[in-house]
Amino acid sequence: MRALVIGASGGIGSAVSQQLQQDGWDVTGLSRSVDGFDVANAASVERGMARQTGSFDLIFVAVGILAPLWGAPEKALSAIKPEDMARVFAVNTIGPALILRHAARLLTKDKRGVVATLSARVGSIGDNSIGGWHTYRASKAALNQIVHGAAIELGRSHKQSICVSLHPGTVETSFTRNYVGRHKTVPAEQAAANLLGVIAKLKPEQSGGFYDYAGQEIVW
């Protein structure tokens, strides 16, 4: 079994890579810190994805930011900054979309193949009851739309493919350290095990969906 993990040096990406390797998978990892794979740079994505050959049984996209390094998630609309919004969308939405353009080439047409992209429950419009975090929420909602559309497109040529958005829960990583508040957190290793458990049980008819770490469907 072969897996391509993008964002392999991050908290969740690294844990997913390690778990897969322990389970006997052949894992290829891509990340900005190790490989110079910058999802916010279209040329970098094209170079990195073009180098991938053969077919993968799993493509796991574990990239994302809450806000630029110099900023923070907004608590009010008045705090929105266009340049910060552009940066978050570049990483959270446009980058994964550019990666998904290569999915059809990297999945085998005649057997099960999964493309799983990390999203977040706060990207659910129906679940949003408190507002705030406008840019991050919007970037993940847009990502979910991209994933849903990609699933439809993939399904036309790859009948057994599965393309989904996944919510990992609140994970103990540098990504969430300053924002967890009273939310219950789980170690990255546990989050990885949860997500891989969900992925293992997914069926082609679930392609295009949005699921949490327990396999429960999340409202759009």
Domain residue spans in the chain?
Answer: 2-212
What burial letters (b/e) apply to 35-74, b meaning 16+ CB within 10 Å?
A: bebbbbbeebbeebbeebeeebbbbbbbbbbbbbeebebb
Give the model's pLDDT for residue 80.
95
- What's the CA angle centered on 92, arms 49 and 193, to 5 degrees? 80
Q: Distance of alpha carbon 44 from its chain centroid, rounded?
A: 18
Structure tokens that stand for 144 in this block = 């979910």
Would you write out the chain's pLDDT as a tens digit for each of its 220 residues?
999 999 999 999 999 999 999 999 999 999 999 999 999 999 999 999 999 999 999 999 999 999 998 889 999 999 999 999 999 999 999 999 999 999 999 999 999 999 999 999 999 999 999 999 999 999 999 999 999 999 999 999 999 999 999 999 998 866 556 655 566 788 999 999 999 999 999 999 999 999 999 999 999 9
- pTM strictly above 0.75: yes
Q: Is 19 helix (H, G, I), strand (E, B) or coil?
A: helix
Radius of gyration, CA atoms only, the chain = 16
pLDDT, one tens digit per residue, over 23-70 is 999 999 999 999 999 999 999 999 999 999 999 999 999 999 999 988
Give the model's pLDDT for residue 171.
86
CATH architecture of 2-212: 3-Layer(aba) Sandwich (3.40)
pLDDT, one tens digit per residue, over 103-117 is 999 999 999 999 999
Distance of alpha carbon 79 from alpha carbon 85, whole angstroms: 11
Structure tokens that stand for 188 in this block = 């990255």
Structure tokens that stand for 216 in this block = 């429960």
Q: Distance of alpha carbon 30 from its chain centroid, rounded?
A: 13
Partner residues linked to 5 by β-bridges: 29, 60
